[in-house]
Each structure stands twice: as C-alpha cells, then as structure tokens.
A and B are shown apart, each in its own frame.
Chain A
Amino acid sequence: MTTEENYQAVKSGRSALTHYEGKWGLSEPFCASLFTDAQNEAMRKNGYTRFESVILHSINDALSGTSIDITSNRVVLIVSTTKGNIEILDNPECDEEREYPASAAQKIADAIGVTTMPIVVCNACISGAAAQVLALRLLDADLYDYAIVTGADCQSPFVVSGFQSFKAVSDEPCRPFDIERLGLNLGEAAATIIFGKEDKPNVSCTSHEDWALYRGCVRNDAFHISSPSPKGDGAYATLNTILADVAKQELAMVSVHGTATMYNDQMESKAIQRAELSDVPVSALKGYFGHTMGAAGLLETIISMRSIDDGFIPANRGFEELGVSGNMDITSESRTTNKNAFVKMISGFGGCNASLLLGKSLELPTTDSRSDIKHQYTIVRISPEKVEIDGKVFHTECKGKAMLTEIYKSQVGDYPKFYKMDSLARLAFVASELLIKAVKDIDAEHTSVVLFNRTSSIVSDRQHHSEMMNLPSPSVFVYTLPNIMTGEIAIRNGLKGETSLYIIDKKEWSLMDSIAVTCFCEPDIHHIIYGWVDYKDDMNFEAEIKYI
C-alpha cells in the first residue's frame, strides 16, 4: 500500500488489526496487523526473503519519480530493523549469512544499486527514529548528499512468542493511553523516507516535498533494560533537547509511541507533561497499524507528515478514557490543524528513547558544529585469546568465554546482574568495565555509548528460536535485541547520553569513527564509548572499544 492508501485508511478509521488463534502453532491468541497473503505475494521478489522483498517494494516506491544518482558515493542506505531476516534462522535451505542483518542490507543495496556500505540501525523499537537521527547527522557532517532511510520487520513466532513471554501482547485491538489498555499488538510494515541535504546546516529535507527534519535526539534512561524510567527521564531529555527555542504553539501534534502497554504510555504522559507539551494534541497510531517495530519510527513519521499536509490530526483509535497520570491532550475523535510542525516520540527496550522535530517552515537558530573533538583515546581489545588495554596485555588464566567471567570476578565482582546477561552483553560489559577503569574518571551525565557489530545477537537468537514454541524465557528474549548491551553499560554507569547499536558488514574504523564523532554535534555530549562488540560463538568473539 502507498502512503496515500495508508493515510486514507487512517483518516476513515480503518485498522488492519486482526485477532489470530493458533497462528503459527502458538498456543496463546494474539491480535496483530500482518501483511495479507495477497500483499505478500504482490511484494515477493524472486531470490529475496520476505523481509528483503517488502523493503525493496517500499524503497522502489519512494525512489520512483526522483532523479537521485543512486550509484554515487554520496548516497547511503540506512536500514532500520530489529530482527531483519529472523524468519530464515536455522532454515537449512537458506544461506546462513543472510541471518545477519548487514548481509540482508547489502543484498538490498545491490538490488537498488547503492555502492556505499549500508548501515543497519538496530536500536530496538526506536530504530526507525534513530535511523532518521543518523541520516540527519551524516548529511549535516557532509559525509553524504542523500540518505535512503528504510525500515521493516516481518512478524513470526519468534517475536510474537517473545512479547507474549513479557505478558505485553493483547489479544484485542490495542487501546493506547486508555484506562483499560491491555498491552500491545505487533504489526508488519515497510516504510522509506529519502533525506537530502538542505543548503542550511542542521536541516535535512525529506522526500515528502517541503518537509524537513530539523532536530533529532536519542537518550538513555539508565534505569532498566526492559522497563522505562517511571518519570520518563530519557524521553523527557530528548524532548528537552529538540524543543530548545521552539514555540510550543507552532506544533500541530505530538506523534507518540503509545504502545498501549501499562508502563510505556504512563511514562510518555509524564515526559510530555515535563516537557510542557500538555496542550499539544497527541496522536497515537498503534490502533491502526500495531507496533511495526523497525518500521514504526518511519511509518508514523510519514503518516504524521501526510496528516498535517491535509490539516488533519488522526483519531486515537482504541482510546476512550484517560488511563495515565501525566497531563496530555488526547481524544478519541480526529481534529483539524493549520500548523506545520510536529514531534515524533519513541522508546524501546534497552532504555533508549528518541524524539524528532519535523516541520515545513520552522525558523530555528542553527548551532555551530563543534570543533573541540578530542583525538586522544583509551582503547580496550578483547579476543578469545587475548586482552589488551592501550596496547598492554592484560593477563588472564582462562581463554574463550570463561575468560569473561574471570575478568568479571577479578575486576568487578559486585554486580551479579553480570550472570543474567547473554554472552554478547557480558563481552560488552567486561570491555566497558576495563575501559572505564583505565579512564578513571568518566563524565556519566554527558557520555554516549555507540556500538557496532556484524552478527547482531545471534547466540541469543538461536537460543530463543530453539525454545520459542514451548514457554520461552523472557530473559533470553530480551537479549535478542543486541542494543541491550548498550543499555547495560548505561545502567551500570548511569550514563545519560545516547545509546546506539549499528550493524555493518565489517569492522571498518573509518566508518565507525565518522559515525561516532557525529554524536558531538550535540553540545550536551562530551564523551563517547564506542567501537566494535561482536559475539558469533564462544570461540569467535571480539571487542575493540574506545573512550574519547
């Protein structure tokens, strides 16, 4: 379906949410918005998986009518997804490489002709907004002229069973912010926005004619890996950053995450009140599309732009009576507007939150790029055979996986949460502990964590996949989001900056350096912990992280 078809469905109050019983052999019923067989068939491309096909369908739609030279080295493809090709995990008929999101992204890049290395944003539910933040920064840093930002997730028993183990899934259509909300509905979508450079700094125009992304911000709660901060600390911090010098009366609406889980909606209402947005109409779209994960931040941004173009604020489908304690302007009816800007909010597991400010004609003071970027750094390297801190060997008795526990015992010892982490998070945790010890004094309030890898969360993916049909473990499922490791580091150290996880095909420091350094475009960010943390199996893992 095109943007227009989706928008018209929202405008007329139609939802794709459907009740399923016994779907995929799952014992519990659920409600979700899934692509129909006919839609899947129409989008299917030979030689490509369902995930790749739906993304290609969306990108080709977005590119049609544009005149971008896609093969130029000034064009980057950014793919937002939480689980990519998870449908083919352990399917012997499929190429194992394609289980890794960077391989799927490369396949998509090759299909459309992009020649630069694609970047996968895998930041749990905020991926679709975080991908737009990345695009804004990369264009602003003049690394590229165009960013094709696309996002999708295909639903399967993998994700549905995991959210069911969290008791977060409703088998009825979801009811965002309502007093009787019972949880979220998952959804399938693919959505694409093409960003191009504006002649003004700090602004990127989008493929939606005269729309521009002015600001975007990502912040961690440093609270818990699966529960948001009750006062919405991280979400509030993102709003506070993007709304500096913005007159609230210029905003047509706040497009919220509004998953209809007890904790998300309550937290968002608090953040909205704290950011003095209580008088701005709220739009929650999950009642139409469900939670489309990697697509959500993009899809909801696109529908919001299209709605405002039409002077329309969609009805909050599923909402009847306010069930949150923060003050907010939410109604069950649609409204009209003559304003031309909005805020997109989104939050996710790992404690991450993002907000975007989009508009058509906002006049904002531009901030100068920072020039005080530090070139001195501390670096920690861990491989199954060896640990090095700033080039000096750190002696360990054990090798392989056991080495991580040995380092935890000798260097930390008093953080039993270590034992609850999966191997990937343990590796990131131990590397960050050694790094922070070597640095001695860190500036927690102003430090971000930006990690990269190749094999995503493959160890936990395999474990959850093996038990998903028979009472899967929620604590295994949560680690199938690789960005949880960035959240663990933020929680341990109280880091209040951003946390981001990118997946790329190989450890290329020039790309990692240039992405990480763009974090300094925000005056609040003084330091970054960043680098490579990859855990393929117990004898194939590698961490190489820096503090600058």
Chain B
Amino acid sequence: MEELILTLKKQIIEVLNLEEMTPEEIETDAPLFGTGLGLDSIDALELIVLLEKEYGIRLANPAEGKDIFKSVATIAEYVHKNRTK
C-alpha cells in the first residue's frame, strides 16, 4: 500500500502539472480538492484518465469521482480494490 501511495503521488504530480511539489509535500489523508491542493474540475477529469490509463479502472459516471478523489488515501484504497492492471 505504501508503495502504491508513493506511486500515485508521483503520478498525480505529473498529470496535474504540480510542478513545484514533491511527493513528500502531499499529505496522504489531506483533501485534494477545495482547500488542500486546490484542484479543480479539470483536474478531477484528469484523475479519471489516470485511473483508466494506469490501472484499467473505468468510471462510467464522473460523479463517482467525488468520493474516490477525496484524498490520496481514498484513491489508493479504490485502486487497490478495483485495479485490472
């Protein structure tokens, strides 16, 4: 799980162009949207692409993302349970 969390943090930094951030600076349980990293609706769509590309998880309904993308911890848990690659 620790390894998955670190990988996810690196992938999030890359796909969301969080240029000046390091994985250590992203708190695993901190909210990603709203406060936290201040991500927006396009970032949420970009995370949907990330799940499908890297882990073979397809979200039919983007509204599902709301619960999954709460924090890196919730993403890791969802990926762990649902990944197909």
A226 and B52 within 8 A (CB): no
Question: 1/0 contact trace for B9-36 toward A, CB 8 Å?
Answer: 0000001111110000000000000000
Closest Cβ–Cβ distance, residue B64 to chain A (whole Å): 11
Question: 1/0 contact trace for A463-477 toward B, CB 8 Å?
Answer: 000000001111100
Judge if B42 is at the interface, Cβ distance under 8 Å: yes
B41 and A471 within 8 A (CB): no
Chain B contact-residue range equals 10 to 19
Closest Cβ–Cβ distance, residue B14 to chain A (whole Å): 11
Complex: how many Å from CA A226 to CA B41?
8
A471 and B45 within 8 A (CB): no
Interface of A is mostly: loop
B18 and A419 within 8 A (CB): yes
Question: 1/0 contact trace for A445-472 toward B, CB 8 Å?
Answer: 0000000000000000000000000011
B20 and A419 within 8 A (CB): yes
A474's partner among B17, B46, B53 (CB-CB below 8 A) is B46
Judge if B40 is at the interface, Cβ distance under 8 Å: yes
Assuming the contacts A416-B19, A419-B17, A419-B19, asked whether A474 and B45 have C-beta atoms less than 8 A apart, the reply is yes
Complex: how many Å from CA A478 to CA B19?
19
**A residues near B41, Cβ cutoff 8 Å:** 224, 226-227
Closest Cβ–Cβ distance, residue B66 to chain A (whole Å): 13
Judge if A167 is at the interface, Cβ distance under 8 Å: yes
Judge if B49 is at the interface, Cβ distance under 8 Å: yes
Closest Cβ–Cβ distance, residue A295 to chain B (whole Å): 26
Judge if B72 is at the interface, Cβ distance under 8 Å: no
Complex: how many Å from CA A474 to CA B15?
11
B41's nearest neighbour on chain A, judged by CB, is A227
Assuming the contacts A165-B45, A226-B41, A227-B41, asked whether A471 and B53 have C-beta atoms less than 8 A apart, the reply is yes
A475 and B42 within 8 A (CB): yes
**A residues near B19, Cβ cutoff 8 Å:** 416, 419
A478 and B42 within 8 A (CB): yes
**B residues near A166, Cβ cutoff 8 Å:** 45
B20 and A167 within 8 A (CB): no
B20 and A473 within 8 A (CB): no
Interface residues of B in 45-69 (CB under 8 A from A): 45-46, 48-49, 52-53, 62
Complex: how many Å from CA A167 to CA B53?
16
Closest Cβ–Cβ distance, residue A480 to chain B (whole Å): 13
B15's partner among A224, A472, A473 (CB-CB below 8 A) is A473
B20's partner among A226, A416, A471 (CB-CB below 8 A) is A416
Complex: how many Å from CA A224 to CA B15?
19
Assuming the contacts A419-B20, A420-B17, asked whether A471 and B42 have C-beta atoms less than 8 A apart, the reply is no
Complex: how many Å from CA A478 to CA B52?
20
